[in-house]
Amino acid sequence: MLGARLNRLQRFVYSHHFVGGLRRGSGVVVAFALVTLVLENPTAGLIAVLGALCVALIDQPGPVSVRIREMLGGLILGAGAVGITGLASQNPILLLIVVVAQSFFFSLFSVYGKRGGVIGLACLVLTVVTMHTSLTPVQAGLHTLTSVSGAVIYILVSLLSSRPLQVREEEQSLSVALFATADYVAARADMYEPRADIDEGYRRLIDRQSKMTEQHQAARDMILRSINPAALERSPRRTVVWNVFIDMVNMLDMLVSTHTDYTLLHRTLDDADIMIFSRDALDKMALELERIALAVTRERGLSRRNSVKAELRAIEFELEQMKRDGFADRELETYTICVQIFRRLRNVNRLIERMLSQTRFPAHNEPLNPAQIDASLIDFLSRQSFHPRLLSSNLRLDSPPCRFALRVALATAIGLGLGLLLPDVAEHGYWIVLTIIMIMKPAFSLTKQRNNARLTGTLIGCGFAYGLFSLTPETHWLLAALFLSLVAGFSFLLVNYLVASVFNTLAILLTLHFVFPSSFALINERAIDTVIGSLVAFACSYFLPWWESRSLPSLAQAAVRANQAFLQTAVQLLKIEDQDHVAAIRPNAWPLARRNTLVAFSNFAEAFYRMMGEPHSRQRHVAEYNHLLIQNHVLAAEILTIASLLRAQPEQASQAIAFMQVLEQALATRDLKAAGLPAPTFDRKSTPADWLYPLKQMQRAVQGIIRESTAIQTATQTAQAAMTQNSS
């Protein structure tokens, strides 16, 4: 356990989360110091801090160009929010209308995805913290300018610190993706444990795969935006980043390219030696991937510490024993799976060896697959559109972002109303609203998690602040604690929200301490307001909720369509006799289809597990969706497997490709009868074909997808018909 905790600490310290937290904390402190020194007014410095905090929230890990564009957009919107709120601050009724309207408007930014939601949240934070002081029009203008100055200072600090560290940030993004890959490999190792819980193991495996897919995409966005042949020639570090990145992507293909029937393995082998050797090999590979991830970001060469040669030789010996004992003939499917496992482990081990050599910066290092470095790489980048039409098109009650915005607006109105009705909290009632907007998320399960973390973290942070103020009144110690709290709060924001809440609460209380010395009174106020805001947020999460069961049908169908497109692309690429047809296919068609399949599957899986965190009465078709999730996972894996096997056996490919076309059409039309046609068969002794078992697995997966999709669709239509009949 100690080793695991130390490893987690190393992960955190060398990750872009910590470095980003250090950058954001430093930017906020610099903004406070400069404005305070220039204007000789700590209150003005605090206002500047609020402007800096707005853009600091937006300044999340990602390419520099994207971060700067989003921060500038947040600066403009935030300045408008501060100005409007300041002008309305002298009239309580007008202020309530303005704040509630802005709560709705900025919460609607969730239509732009996670990054859009962060921009809306940052602007809403500025709105809420501005409303607590009554300002004249002139004061409102000065307040806005001061806030903007803090934001501008922060953006300059962020830009100046990021440009020289661009390659470093690429290394850190790659390191985080490698750590996620190591976690996925470790989850696969757990599936080989004797008497393992297969259902729980699959849940953990799919969760790790979703996180790995997300981190791989973040690494793509960071690395591919800046990579080009000239950059590789100038920078040996970029060559290492590129080469390790290519090997990591290839490893991803190998890891997910074969669906392992763990149920069959445990039924026929369970605690056999080959299972233990496979588990140990994967565990060692996960440890090596973690070491490579640390080496990439620390720029230190590595030598192999955890060799798997003994495990590979032992597995090879076990396979020979299976042949001699007749097990290969009695349990052909199990033996085929074991052979696939051995080949996969051997190939992944080769990639790990090559990654290790890259960490030592070879003298004659050439970029891998240089032909891939062209304009077509743009296909793999995430695209973010902030078109205003998305906002207007979602102004309807059947839109999840609109319902979320209405929930936040209602909760904000209740929070403001409580501030007006309760004299004891009137002066600091804005903290209730601040708690509400920080807690509420578009998904019910996320709001519940955030609520618990925010409430617990704030109370712990208040306790830490009380202890700190009791221990020392010395300004230099409190300033040091403020800086550390800012860095830790920003660093943990995307990693652990509870820990982030502890440090953010401490940072805010320390900041206010330098302006309003009545620190102990502030602590009590914050604790009370947080409890009130938490209760309001929880109650309002039941107003116009968008239960995940309403989104799951479309996300499930998107995952099925992505798998169908993936299968169609595989068929097209395997038609090697039609050279004109192959030439017409886009160069990146195969990896792009694979990436789209993984992303669609991750979206489906995340929504399903969010539904499992909602009230039981709101969960729909749990068994069907769970089975559909697993079958989509199986199908994607078998498509990758068969594509790689048929490329190695082109003389046997024609019948398999024809059958894959039948399955693709059956999936497109949801034709269960067509999907049940007999698969091609061969005499194994005269015509060995390794792809026969994966092809049958693919057929079973397609049948399962059609069966579950049809069952869900039928049940949904029946429920809708019943509701229509009852309403009439």
Q: How far apart are the first and last CA of the chain?
A: 62
One fold for 168-225+237-362 and 548-727 = no
Percent of the chain with pLDDT over 70: 87
The answer to which of 73-87, 188-202, 518-532, 653-667 has the lowest mean pLDDT is 518-532
Q: Is the pLDDT of residue 22 over 80?
A: yes
Q: Tell me: pLDDT of 588 over 80.
A: no
Farthest-apart Cα atoms in the chain, separation: 91
Q: Which fold, 548-727?
A: Four Helix Bundle (Hemerythrin (Met), subunit A) (1.20.120)
Dist. CA 469–CA 522, nearest whole Å: 12
H helix or E strand, kind and range, residue 635: helix 622-648
Task: Tell me what pLDDT residue 531 has.
Answer: 87
Q: Residue 364: what are its φ and ψ, rounded to 5°?
A: -110, 70
* DSSP track, 462-476: HHHHHHHHHH---HH
Using alpha carbons only, what angle is made at residue 227 by residues 221 and 228, rounded to the nearest 5 degrees? 145
User: Which of 603, 671, 662, 665 is CA-nearest to residue 632?
Assistant: 603
- For the cut 50, the answer to whether the pLDDT of residue 578 exceeds it is no
How do residues 44-62 score in pLDDT, each as one tens digit?
A: 888 898 899 889 988 887 7
The answer to whether 662 touches 235, Cβ cutoff 8 Å, is: no
Stretch among 4-8, 70-74, 179-183, 671-675 having the lowest mean pLDDT: 4-8
Comparing 702 with 238, the larger pLDDT belongs to: 702
The yes-or-no verdict on residue 409 having pLDDT over 90 is yes
Q: What is the CATH number of domain 168-225+237-362?
A: 1.20.58
Q: What is the pLDDT of residue 1?
A: 38
- Residue 192 buriedness (CB in 10 A; 0-12 / 13-18 / 19+): buried
Mean pLDDT, to the nearest integer, of 574-583? 55
Please report the pLDDT score of residue 313 as a whole number: 92
Residue 398: band (very low, low, confident or very high) from pLDDT cuts 50, 70, 90: confident
At residue 222, the pLDDT reads 83
Give the model's pLDDT for residue 363: 61
Query: Tell me, what's the pLDDT at 104?
Result: 94
> What letters, b where the CB count within 10 A reaches 16 and e where it falls short, cover 342-369?
bebbebbbebbeebbbbbeeeeebebbe
* 310, amino acid identity: A
Q: Of 71-85, 110-124, 433-447, 514-528, where does mean pLDDT reach its minimum?
A: 514-528
Q: Which of the two residues, 579 and 655, has the higher pLDDT score?
A: 655
Phi-psi label, residue 367: left if phi above 0, alpha if psi -120 to 50, beta otherwise: beta
Q: Is 30:153 a contact under the CB 8 Å cutoff?
A: yes
| Mean of the per-residue pLDDT values of the chain | 82
* Look-up of token digits 């990146």: 588
Sequence-distant (≥ 6) Cβ neighbours of residue 62 within 8 angstroms: 218, 221, 222
Q: Is the pLDDT of residue 563 over 70?
A: yes
pLDDT at position 577 is: 47
Q: 320-329, 346-355, 373-382 — which is least confidently predicted?
A: 373-382
Look at 261 and 282; give whichever has higher pLDDT. Answer: 282
Q: Tell me the average pLDDT across 312-326.
A: 90
Whether 2 has a pLDDT exceeding 60, the answer reads: no
Q: Nearest CA to 103 among 429, 409, 401?
A: 409
Per-residue pLDDT at 282: 92
As a whole number, mean pLDDT of residues 109-123 equals 88
3-state secondary structure of 164: coil
> HEC string of 14-39?
CCHHHHHHHHHHHHHHHHHHHHHHHH
pLDDT digit string (tens) for 136-179? 889 999 999 999 999 999 999 988 887 777 788 888 888 889 99
The helix (H) or strand (E) run that includes residue 669 is: helix 653-669
The pLDDT of 517-533, averaged and rounded, is 76
pLDDT above 60 for 584: no
Over range 521-543, report the average pLDDT. 84
pTM equals 0.81
In 3D space, the residue among 17, 14, 45 whose CA is nearest the CA of residue 30 turns out to be 45
Q: Which two tokens stand for residue 643?
A: 């594509």
**Percentage of residues of the chain with pLDDT beyond 90:** 15
pLDDT in tens, 466-512: 888 778 777 778 788 888 888 888 888 777 888 888 888 888 788 77
Domain boundaries defined on the chain: 1-164, 168-225+237-362, 399-545, 548-727
Neighbours of 472 (CB within 10 A): 11
pLDDT of residue 684: 53
119 contacts 109 by C-beta, under 8 angstroms: yes
Instruction: Give the mean pLDDT of 338-354.
Output: 88
pLDDT in tens, 28-37: 889 988 998 8
